[in-house]
């Protein structure tokens, strides 16, 4: 599975959009991009995933570049409860093991 690179930390003002980048320049054609987050001391929580099209659900939007070498997770109106570590994970279509990196610590501030 391709490796991912994320910034170690980001700050965002409450109510504003949080845009979390992820680089996955070695991604291959059958690999998906998954995003999870982990709020302090809790288990990780699935957010969203995509292959090549942009995706949106009730939690977030996922924008994947046309060459698929990078993606951005967008939390449209960040709240204090969105403060967490966000993990970008690339995994093949039939892979069954998630590999968590260090992730991005997002701090939402009032």
Binding site for another protein (CB under 8 A): 32, 34, 41-46, 49, 87, 91, 93-103
Cβ of residue 41: shortest distance to another protein, in angstroms? 7
Q: Which residues contact 69 (CB under 8 A, 6 or more apart)?
A: 23, 24, 25, 27
Cβ of residue 13: shortest distance to another protein, in angstroms? 27
Tell me whether residue 21 or residue 95 sits nearer to another protein (CB atom): 95
Tell me whether residue 1 or residue 14 sits nearer to another protein (CB atom): 1
Tell me whether residue 5 or residue 109 sits nearer to another protein (CB atom): 5
Tell me whether residue 41 or residue 110 sits nearer to another protein (CB atom): 41
Q: In this structure, are residues 35 and 45 in contact, taking their beta carbons and an 8 Å threshold?
A: no
Cβ of residue 34: shortest distance to another protein, in angstroms? 6
Cβ of residue 110: shortest distance to another protein, in angstroms? 27
Q: Please classify residue 95 by burial: count the beta carbons closer than 10 Å to its beta carbon, then call 0-12 exposed, 13-18 middle and 19+ buried.
A: middle
Beta strand extents in the chain (DSSP E only): 9-13, 18-23, 31-38, 45-50, 55-56, 61-64, 70-75, 84-92, 104-109
């Amino acid at each position: 599975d391709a490796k991912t690179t994320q910034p170690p930390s980001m700050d965002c003002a409450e109510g504003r959009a949080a845009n979390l980048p992820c680089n996955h320049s070695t991604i291959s054609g059958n690999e998906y991009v998954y995003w999870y987050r982990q709020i302090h001391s809790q288990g990780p929580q699935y957010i969203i995933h995509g292959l090549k099209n942009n995706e949106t659900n009730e939690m977030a939007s996922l924008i994947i570049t046309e060459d698929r070498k990078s993606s951005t997770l967008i939390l449209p109106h960040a709240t204090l409860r969105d403060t967490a570590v966000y993990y970008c994970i690339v995994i093949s279509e039939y892979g069954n093991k998630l590999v968590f990196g260090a992730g991005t610590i997002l701090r939402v501030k009032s």
